[in-house]
Amino acid sequence: MPEITRFYDPTRQRRTKIELRGTHTWVQTVETILNQWINPSFVGRAVLDDIYASPAHAKLLIRESNLESAAQVTGDSSNAHYRGSNLAPFGEGTGIGASTMLLFDIACKLPSKWCSGKCTNPRFNIPRHVLLHEMVHCMRQLRGRWRIGNTVMNGKAMPLEEAIAIVVANMFMSEKGDNVLRAHHTGIATMPNDPQAFAADPRVRELLDQIKADHPKFYNGVAALKKTHFPFNPFAF
């Protein structure tokens, strides 16, 4: 099947920021997910706004994949990392933001490295949630905020960046009425829908403060929604 390319920008302001590339059917399906699920939601729109606000040189290519969904920096990866981060032996993060490629497999197959596909909960592993999760990774890279390191969330160690993507995707799921929330990066465990208790965990507090420092407009905009628009909003605490 021949591939087509289309730009995605409902705001008509940053026209070439987000590019979709794949077969015609795939591009149409991704446009539908963006238009019907992500753009009309508070959380999804806030992620899109933060992506559109990244520096002009940083572009997001969402590309068809038949293997996996993943976010990959294209170009110089030190630009995706926050300024001053130690990337030895490759130097320091510049924080200026980098172009990134989001591979998106609509069938949501998992690569064999992820426990042969047996470790995911079908409640989480659906296209709109997967796309939003990967878009959060891309938002971090486009903005030059990517961090190396681990944290502990719901009693389990995981990469900091995965914890951030999982928290934001949980908020998006909650907004869409799916309040069975994902606890970990690997495994099918769910977590209680109690944003106040979640935000009170010291490691989670640290994580939330990091998101706030890195993306203040995004964070404060969603925090201001309180619990009025969706139940799981840890930004509000």
Give the residues lining the site for Zn ion (CB under 5 A): 162, 165
Nearer to Zn ion, 64 or 162 (CB): 162
* CA–CA separation, 210 and 90 (whole Å): 24
Residue with token string 């959380």:
43
For Zn ion, the closer of residues 58 and 130 by Cβ is 130
25 Cβ contact partners less than 8 Å away, ≥ 6 residues apart = 1
Residue with Cβ nearer Zn ion (46 or 131): 131
Nearer to Zn ion, 46 or 136 (CB): 136
Give SS3 for 191: strand
- Closest contact distance (angstroms) between CB of 224 and Zn ion is 26
Distances in Å between the Cα of 186 and the Cα atoms of 20, 152, 166 are 28, 13, 11
User: How many residues are there in the chain?
Assistant: 237
- Using a 10 angstrom Cβ sphere, with 0-12 exposed, 13-18 middle and 19 or more buried, the burial of residue 112 is exposed
Close Cβ partners of 37 (under 8 Å, ≥ 6 residues apart): 44, 128, 176
Nearest distance from C-beta of residue 145 to Zn ion, angstroms? 15
C-beta closer to Zn ion: residue 142 or 165: 165
Q: How far is the CB of 166 from Zn ion (least distance, A)?
A: 8
Instruction: List the beta strands (DSSP E) in 87-163.
Output: 100-104, 150-153, 156-159
Closest CB to Zn ion among 1 and 107?
Answer: 107
Contact 153, 211 (CB under 8 A): no
Shortest CB 130 distance to Zn ion, Å: 9
Which lies closer to Zn ion via its Cβ, residue 50 or residue 162? 162
CB of 9 to Zn ion, least distance (A): 24
> Residues near 191 by Cβ (< 8 Å), separated by ≥ 6?
154, 170, 181, 182, 183, 198
